């Protein structure tokens, strides 16, 4: 009982830290690509230190696995850049809610990649997720910043869906920290040129926010999340993970004074409801 309670507490702390990253991304004045680049630079450096400290074997078994891990890292770079772009163009609510729709893309990509049957129930849930996104769209014009934010959020969601499928294969063979190191290290290398090409003024506030996203909201949060999963069921972990959006919206309200619109609340309720229902169904 104590182990479960401790694991549940760690799980909530991890998800709360994940949710904080969106608010910090909006708090900083740096362009989204630099926020994403700083995030992976910090987290991959910490992960490398962790792998070396635990004497984790760094080499992957095959060139195919190496190519897959590096490809996943490229997708991760797109995911986080698009995510922060969505948050900065629209709101924390839009960025986190659209990101939460990644099962929509997994539903249709997974049967293609792993040659599994397309389940009607999964298609139904995907349609509901899409409906939730459409509810949040204020106007069908990219001139509207909120609508543009939704589009960027869906790009982030698609990238995360692809990343999920890559990790499904890699996580069967390698420790999570090693997979994350390759993916985040690759993303860091790909995003590094942005620091020389994208003009920006680096203030202590911006650097502090990016460091917090990388070290606290990514590396530390991921470590706590993995540790917590040892003492709770997959269903519990999935349901609590769905709280990331809720925590992000609450942080935005308390720290930025950014309240979600009625459209965002309605669409978000549908998106999070479908996500929670999918998690429960997966365990039954």
pLDDT surpassing 60 at residue 83:
yes
Q: Which residue has the higher pLDDT, 204 or 135?
A: 204
Average pLDDT of the chain? 85
pLDDT band, very low/low/confident/very high, at 235 (cuts 50, 70, 90):
low
Lowest mean pLDDT among 13-22, 176-185, 218-227, 263-272: 218-227
| Helix ranges restricted to H, 137-242 | 145-170, 176-191, 194-197, 204-211, 221-228, 234-241
Q: Average the pLDDT over 33-43 and give the result.
A: 94
Please tell me the distance from the alpha carbon of residue 284 to that of residue 281, in angstroms, as a whole number.
Answer: 5
Domain boundaries, the chain: 2-283
Whole-number percent of the chain with pLDDT over 90: 34
- Say if residues 90 and 148 touch (Cβ distance below 8 Å): yes
The model's pTM: 0.87
Please tell me the distance from the alpha carbon of residue 215 to that of residue 61, in angstroms, as a whole number.
Answer: 28
Please tell me the distance from the alpha carbon of residue 266 to that of residue 247, in angstroms, as a whole number.
Answer: 17
Please tell me the distance from the alpha carbon of residue 193 to that of residue 204, in angstroms, as a whole number.
Answer: 21
Q: Which residue has the higher pLDDT, 242 or 17?
A: 17
Non-local CB neighbours of 24 within 8 Å, separated by 6+ positions: 209, 210, 212, 213, 217
**Each residue's pLDDT tens digit, 248-257:** 888 998 988 8
Amino acid 280: pLDDT: 61
pLDDT band, very low/low/confident/very high, at 159 (cuts 50, 70, 90):
very high
Non-local CB neighbours of 262 within 8 Å, separated by 6+ positions: none
Amino acid 234: pLDDT: 57
Please tell me the distance from the alpha carbon of residue 158 to that of residue 164, in angstroms, as a whole number.
Answer: 10
- Say if residues 64 and 112 touch (Cβ distance below 8 Å): no
Please tell me the distance from the alpha carbon of residue 150 to that of residue 154, in angstroms, as a whole number.
Answer: 6
**Six-digit token string for 193:** 């040129």
Lowest mean pLDDT among 1-10, 56-65, 178-187, 194-203: 1-10
């Amino acid at each position: 009982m104590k182990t479960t309670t401790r694991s549940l507490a760690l799980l909530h702390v991890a998800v709360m830290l994940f949710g904080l990253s969106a608010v910090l991304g909006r708090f900083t004045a740096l362009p989204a690509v630099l926020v994403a680049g700083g995030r992976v630079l910090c987290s991959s450096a910490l992960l490398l230190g962790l792998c070396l400290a635990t004497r984790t074997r760094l080499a992957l078994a095959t060139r195919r696995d190496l190519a897959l891990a590096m490809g996943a890292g490229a997708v991760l770079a797109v995911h986080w850049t698009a995510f922060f772009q969505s948050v900065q163009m629209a709101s924390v609510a839009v960025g986190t809610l659209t990101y939460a729709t990644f099962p929509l893309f997994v539903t249709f990509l997974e049967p293609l990649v792993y040659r599994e049957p397309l389940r009607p129930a999964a298609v139904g849930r995907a349609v509901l997720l899409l409906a939730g996104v459409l509810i949040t769209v204020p106007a069908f014009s990219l001139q509207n910043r909120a609508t543009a934010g939704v589009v960027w959020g869906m790009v982030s969601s698609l990238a995360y869906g692809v990343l999920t499928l890559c990790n499904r294969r890699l996580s069967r063979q390698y420790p999570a920290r090693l997979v994350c190191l390759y993916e985040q290290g690759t993303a860091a290398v790909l995003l590094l040129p942005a620091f020389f090409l994208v003009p920006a003024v680096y203030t202590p506030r911006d650097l502090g926010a990016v460091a917090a996203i990388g070290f606290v909201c990514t590396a530390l949060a991921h470590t706590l999340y993995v540790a917590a999963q040892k003492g709770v069921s997959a269903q519990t972990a999935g349901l609590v993970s769905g709280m990331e959006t809720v925590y992000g919206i609450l942080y935005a309200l308390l720290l930025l004074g950014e309240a979600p619109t009625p459209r965002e609340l309605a669409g978000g309720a549908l998106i999070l409801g479908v996500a929670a229902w999918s998690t429960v169904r997966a365990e039954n």
